Structure formats: structure tokens, C-alpha cells
Structure 1
Amino acid sequence: MFNDDSYIYLISVEDIILDRLRAGIHWKSEDDLLWVFNNFSRNYQELDISYLKENPEVKLEEQVLDEWIKQFI
């Protein structure tokens, strides 16, 4: 098992959303975009929206996130 010095590192839901959003946009993958939007919408109340808004890498990511966020405010 684990001793007291063990750690388990997990990626945040926000980082998974950003990663899949990037894949969907870069590869023009409707499946990735559908999956990530469903994940976004199911978890919206718990998401760190500020983090999501601060971390897009390209303008299109920012635009898509803004559209999604507007659906929930």
C-alpha cells in the first residue's frame, strides 16, 4: 500500500476540459467538442470559471468557452 510519503497527482477537471477543447479545435473533432461540452455542463457549478477563462491558448478556445459560459449565466 502507501506510506505517509506517497502522493497521487491528479489533473483537474478544468485542465481536462481545456485539453479536450484544444483537441476538438485543433483536430476539428466534433466528438471531442461534444464530449468536452457535456463534461463542462455536468460540472459547471463546481468549475473554476476564472481559471478556465485565464488559460486558453488561442482565441478560438476563448470564444468557445465564452459561448459555453453564457449558456449558464
Structure 2
Amino acid sequence: MLYQKLLTGWPMPNLMRRQILSGMSHKKIHLPTKVCVVCLRPFVWRKKWERDWENVKYCSKKCRQMAN
């Protein structure tokens, strides 16, 4: 029933609609963060960095290339 309301345009914020449709029932506020050494912007832990999080220094490939 909730799924039908989502598809029919039942008034709900887009973020909440995406979370329900994707199956995500929580916000990812508990993930660790670091600051990129090149652009000095904060970035959040990603699953692909799980094994090597201690050595991650750059937020993107572009920042990694700019550092070299």
C-alpha cells in the first residue's frame, strides 16, 4: 500500500521517497570522515575503502592526480 502511494504522487519529500524505495531506513550519519589533503574538503568513508581506510588521503581521482 505504501509503495502504491509513492508511485501515485502521494505528497512526501523526495529524500524520504528515495529512502523507502531503496530500502534504506536510516541516514548514514555515523560514517567516519577525513579531509582531503589536496582540496581540503571533507569526505566520507566508502565501502570500497573498507580495507585501506587508514591510507586513504584523497577524495577523488582528480585530487590524487593533482597531488602528483
Larger Rg: 2
Q: Which has the higher helix share?
A: 1
Give the TM-score taking structure 1 as reference length: 0.23
- RCO comparison, higher one (Cα < 8 Å, 6+): 1
